[in-house]
Structure 1
Amino acid sequence: MSEPTISTRRAGMDRYGFTSPAPRPEGLADILERVLDKGIIIAGDIRVNLVDVELLTVKIRLLVVSVDKAMEMGIDWWKRDPMLSAEAADAKELADENRELRARLEELERDRE
């Protein structure tokens, strides 16, 4: 009777019998979880020159992280964008009203002099 063999996949070995340094992710969900947890940054610049004169520069910056990781990094622009946050929209309305009231107050103080 032969001894039972352990599957190389379950034992963490490659097809040659060597152990892999790190376990491989099982699927797209695992890869996505790792990317969002750690983050990934893609940066690049596109420049168009004509006879040593720069005509156009496009800077591309892409950061892919989870919301929690972004907040850890101090990135929270979506909280202040009126299109994405009701609180930000209210704050914008209050700031506009405040500006109008200050202008009116200055006008009244000038008329009083």
Structure 2
Amino acid sequence: MTYTSAEPALPHDGTPTGPPSGSLADLLERVLDKGIVIAGDIKIDLLDIELLTIRLRLFVASVDTARKAGIDWWETDPALSTRAAHNALADENERLRRRLAELEPKAADA
């Protein structure tokens, strides 16, 4: 329902009504299904000199909606994913083994 005036819609009995409201669960389901972006900038200036700029971007969505938008950073962040942490440790372990294999012959010759 769309209202075009600032006046609330009045039914035939004269009591004011507002836009149709659903439950909080319905609203949350709709937001997670579609996603919502909240963006803002905070700037601190002193005498026309920019001292600090903070850019805030917030994307609220379900995991499936985020994946459809190409966002999946939580899967590769070692702090959030045990699989990513394991892969990071395996990569570091392999790198250290190669380095050790390079250094062992040099240490034997010395």
Q: Please, what TM-score do these two structures have when normalized by structure 2?
A: 0.71
Q: Secondary structure at the match of 1:75?
A: coil
Percent identical among aligned pairs is 48
2:97 is the alignment partner of 1:86: no
Structure 2 vs 1, CA of residues 109 and 71 (structure 1 numbering), >3 Å: closer, same or farther?
A: farther
Q: Secondary structure at the match of 1:56?
A: strand
Matches within 5 A, 1:68-79: 68-79=64-75
Could you list the runs of 5+ residues in structure 1 that have no partner in the other structure? 1-13, 17-22
Q: CA deviation at 1:33?
A: 0.7
User: Deviations 1:20-63 (Å, cap 9, x if unpaired)?
Assistant: xxx94521111111111111101111111122321111110100
2:39 aligns to what? 43
Q: Is the 8 A contact 1:40 1:63 kept in 2?
A: yes
Structure 2 vs 1, CA of residues 109 and 72 (structure 1 numbering), >3 Å: closer, same or farther?
A: farther
1:103 aligns to what? 99
Q: CA deviation at 1:89?
A: 1.1
Q: Is the 8 A contact 1:39 1:66 kept in 2?
A: yes
Structure 1 stretches of at least 4 aligned residues deviating more than 4 Å after TM superposition: 108-112
Q: Is the 8 A contact 1:25 1:31 kept in 2?
A: no
**Matches of 1:109 and 1:43, distance apart in 2:** 56
1:97 maps to amino acid: N
Q: CA deviation at 1:108?
A: 5.1
2:57 is the alignment partner of 1:61: yes
RMSD in angstroms over aligned alpha carbons?
2.5
Q: Please, what TM-score do these two structures have when normalized by structure 1?
A: 0.70
**Matches of 1:47 and 1:110, distance apart in 2:** 56
Q: Secondary structure at the match of 1:61?
A: strand
**Matches of 2:106 and 2:11, distance apart in 1:** 86
Could you list the runs of 5+ residues in structure 2 that have no partner in the other structure? 1-9, 13-18
1:90 maps to amino acid: H
